[in-house]
Each structure stands twice: as structure tokens, then as C-alpha cells.
Structure 1
Amino acid sequence: MNSGSNDARARRRLTAELKRRFRDVNNQIALLSHHVSSRVELRDVDLDCLDFLAQHGATSPSALARRAGVHPATMTGVIDRLEKGGWIARERDPNDRRAVVVSVRQDAIGEVFRHYEGMNAQMDAVCADYSPAELELIAGFLQRTADAGRRAVEEFAEG
């Protein structure tokens, strides 16, 4: 057997292992988020939308629906619940007075973030074991993985 086929087999094995570990990470983060959403009395999809708004800033309800992968009518319910709970503000779009944008209420979001302090501390400990160059490599890998996930979602939604 030549080293090329051994290298290809090793690459397939390692790639499969990475995918398996991503599934495990995804499951653990989903479980943590489920516990957090229960603690703050939000539905899982509501917490997902709140997190998106916290990360990316104000956006239109239709853009949020696309990003969250939910029907616009479902998004109306999500936004209504988040607004009623005091998590978000619904305001007129400054660029189009007929349109609406939703944004996180900064005075409320801290309650959610506090529930992730344990995970953040765990991640700090994990990251402490890596050099800055290794962290840059990992961050780039995760960015490319997230981009691949977005493309897969777009393809799935179109198909």
C-alpha cells in the first residue's frame, strides 16, 4: 500500500471524527440553550432569535425570520412574545418609516448572558491551552464551518 492511500484514509477518518465531535458540541450547546431558555421562560426559538439580535444588531422581522429559518407568521409570534417579555424593542426603521426593525433591549439581555457564564468560563479554560496562532487557526476553521452551515441552510431552503 502506498502512503497516498494511507494519507487519504487517515484524512477521511479524521474528517469523520471532526464531524462527530461537531455533532456532540452542537448537542451540548443545544442542551445548554434549552436549559437557559427554560430558566428565563423563553421558547428555544425565541432565545435563538434573541441571540441573533444580540450578535448582529437590529434587523427587520422578515430578515430575522429568514435567518432563524421560521415562517414570517411564526416570527410575528416570536417578536410579540419577546416584546411582551421586555427582551426587545420594536421601532420604526429610520431609513423607511413604513418598515419596522427589532433590536435587543440592552437592559434586559444581561439576564440571559449571566446564564452562560459557566460555559464562558469553561471556554476560557479550554482556550488558555492554545497559543494565539492556534486560536487564530481554530477561529478561522469555525468561521469557515459556520459559513458552510449557512450555505447548506440556503441550499436546503431552496430545494
Structure 2
Amino acid sequence: MRGLGTRTVQYQQNVAASLGLYNHDFIPVDILREKGPITAGELSKLTGLATGSVTALIDRLEKIGYVRRQNDPKDRRKVIIVPEYENKEEVSNTYQPLHDAMINLASSYTDDELALITQFLSKAGTVLEEQIHQLSSTTDQKSSS
């Protein structure tokens, strides 16, 4: 898992570089893709970035068309950050070779094997989220001491 994690980070860094982004700007973009529209405060919590840093990040990403700000329909005092980068051709072109290679890899497995792999990856994702939360709680406690 650590090896796969390392290669995933390396791939992500290369994707970010190919799109002209810094990796620390690209991680929040992927968080937005996964979580959907969220507030800047929520993005701050998920990334561990200070709110001022998130505001500057959103400004940079909005300038290049990767996100847009939208008023929260439930609370007009809040602004929601909406991911837009999936609609950009350079993003889909960047990810297409990986998509094609993964489809090719998946075709070498049976439906039952794919179901088991999917279940494992889902549970592994949950374990990782728990570990992230535990590590961030430990870090928060150390920094407040």
C-alpha cells in the first residue's frame, strides 16, 4: 500500500506539473472533485490550510477556470466553491491515458474479482481516512501544546 501510495503521489505531482499547477494547489482540486461543491471553510478543514491560504488558493484556481464561487442557496452569507476543471479539455486529455490503461487492466479480471478489488479499495480508502484523521488530531494536539 505504501508503494502504491508513493506512485499515486508521484503521478499526481506529474499531472499537476503537466497542467501548470503546483501539487499543493492540485490536491484541493481533487478534493473538490471528490467531495463536490463545498465552502471555503470546509476546504480549509479538509486540506489543513489556513483560511487565508484557502482564499488565495481559490483566487488562483478561479483565475484559471478550475473552480468558481457560487452563493450558497441555503445561506446567502456563505459561498460555495464549485469544481469546474473536469470540464476542461486539457484535464480530460491528461487523464485519458491512465483511464484507458486502467480499463485495459480491469478487463483482465473477472466480474467477481473486480467486485472483490472494488470492495478492498473502498475499505482501504476508509482506513486511510481514519488514519488521516488520527494523524491530524495528533498534529493538532502537538501544535496546541
- For 2:118, the equivalent position in structure 1 comes to 139
- For 1:44, the equivalent position in structure 2 comes to 23
> TM-score if structure 2 supplies the norm length?
0.86
- For 1:35, the equivalent position in structure 2 comes to 14
Structure 2 Cα separation of the partners of residues 55 and 111 of structure 1: 19
Q: 2:65, 2:85 within 8 Å by CA — same for their partners in 1?
A: no
What do residues 76-112 of structure 1 show as CA deviations (whole Å, max 9, x unaligned)? 2211110111111011111100001001126743422
1:97 is paired with a residue of what secondary structure?
coil
Structure 1 Cα separation of the partners of residues 99 and 12 of structure 2: 13
Structure 2 Cα separation of the partners of residues 92 and 145 of structure 1: 35
Identity %: 25
Moved over 6 A (4+): none
Label 1:45 to 1:71 Cα distance change in 2 as closer, same or farther (>3 A).
Answer: same
Structure 2 Cα separation of the partners of residues 156 and 106 of structure 1: 30
What number of residue pairs does the alignment pair up? 138
> TM-score if structure 1 supplies the norm length?
0.79
- For 2:50, the equivalent position in structure 1 comes to 71
Larger radius of gyration: 1
- For 2:142, the equivalent position in structure 1 comes to none
Q: 1:59, 1:101 within 8 Å by CA — same for their partners in 2?
A: yes
**Stretch deviating more after TM superposition (62-71 or 77-86):** 62-71
Q: 1:86, 1:108 within 8 Å by CA — same for their partners in 2?
A: no
**1:152 alignment partner, one of 102, 108, 131:** 131
Q: 2:69, 2:80 within 8 Å by CA — same for their partners in 1?
A: yes
Q: Which runs of 5+ in 1 are unaligned?
A: 1-21
Letter in 1 for 2:12: S
- For 1:97, the equivalent position in structure 2 comes to 76
